[in-house]
Amino acid sequence: MSELHSARVTTALIPRYVSRFGCIGAACEDNCCTGWAVSIDKKTFKAYRQVKNKELGNSLSENVQRRRSQETNADYARIQLHAETKACPLMRDNLCAVQKNLGESYLSNTCFTYPRVSRKFAGQYELALTLSCPEAARQALLVEDAFEFVEAPVKLRDNVVAEVAPRLGMPLELMNEVRIFCIQLLQTQGLALWEKLAVLGGFCEGLTATLAESGNAAVPALMEEYVAIVEQGLVGDALAKLQPDYAAQAQIFALLWQFKATATGSAVQKSVSEAVSQGLGANGETGQLGSERLVENYSRGIERLHKALEATPRLLEHYILNEMFLELFPFGGASPYEDYLKLISRFGLLRLMLAAQCNANATLPDAVALSNTVQVYCRRFQHDPNFAQQVSQVLNNSGWGKLEKLYRFLRS
């Protein structure tokens, strides 16, 4: 059979964990073939209508339906999931019938790429993974050297590689310098994660103001200023008076949690959702959270989370690094500061979910359970296109969008 979508092997910049990733197929506890209505590109849709294998052809004709409104070449049709199980109807014995019968080149662009996200930046290919995939999450979060950056061969389809254009009036070379600076800041030794995030916030606020007031020419000096702050040990002095505000952390992030707190989906999604709700003290019948009990439970959970993270001390740092590399931080939003606001909101909600599961006298969650929580969080929240807008509205409407207040979310 002829090839439908061509792919080629090329060299890309990747975090080391990407080179170790491989789909575990039927062994996956929360697979990507269940729960998502998969987009089918126009070229793949038309090829599916020509499949000669009678059984597979009938299944494709019945279950891959053309979108009749708001269609695009990339989202031309959708796979209709089973009404009850929400499973892909093209699966046979936990294996994809398309790949088995037609080969990898007949997978839609969506199915071929997930959980990979590729781009071309200033002439160099880059590849990262979204941590809504359980195996990707384990490789990224639980391995010490996961975020050593290397160049390695990867297999890409050129038509799904996004090419980055200059943003915010900055040339690509300077954008790259800023990206590298931010990632290196998060990898600085000798600072607690919350201290690194505080410095990053100051830098992003300063970068936003600098670009508005002085343009590109002043950006290198701003980076040098923050390098000096870190190298001269000024971070501790500047942040010494910053104390944790568990009440604010619990109340704001619990509000965000309740947007999607319903325990639905796969067994692992249900398990994590139920554990978080119980840990926060949600009413068993209504799901509502009482303010006083919420803060008490969260505070206790945060204290025990420090102990739980001893089993995988880089989990939160690796999550943040993955978000930064995956989403072109700090150039993924309207401004560097807006991108920082999104990053901190994601960090705060994830930390709440982790802390909630530590709020008990029972055995603390192990490294795999913590990784599962990150994966479920990414799948339930970060793949929801409306969630980022909801977060922004909550933070801005409650007055927490400014840096001096946002700092109270950082220390735990």
Token reading at 178: 């800023």
Residues 6+ apart with CB under 8 A from 1: 102, 103
What span, in angstroms and rounded, lies between the C-alpha atoms of 108 and 308? 40
Q: Which residues pair with 151 in a beta bridge?
A: 13
Question: How high is the pLDDT of residue 255?
Answer: 86
pLDDT in tens, 373-405: 999 999 998 888 778 777 777 777 777 788 888
In the chain, the N- to C-terminal Cα span, in Å, equals 58
Cis omega before residue 166 (within 30°)?
Answer: no
Q: Which of 32-36, 135-139, 303-307, 398-402 bottoms out in mean pLDDT, i.e. has the lowest?
A: 398-402
pLDDT in tens, 158-182: 999 999 999 999 999 999 999 999 9
Question: How high is the pLDDT of residue 264?
Answer: 76
Please name the amino acid found at residue 204. Answer: C
Domain boundaries, the chain: 8-160, 172-236, 246-409
Task: Map 207-238 to HEC letters.
Answer: HHHHHHHCCHHHHHHHHHHHHHHHHCCHHHHH
pLDDT over 70, % of the chain: 98
Rg value, the chain, Cα: 22
What span, in angstroms and rounded, lies between the C-alpha atoms of 167 and 164? 9
CB 144 within 8 A of CB 30: no
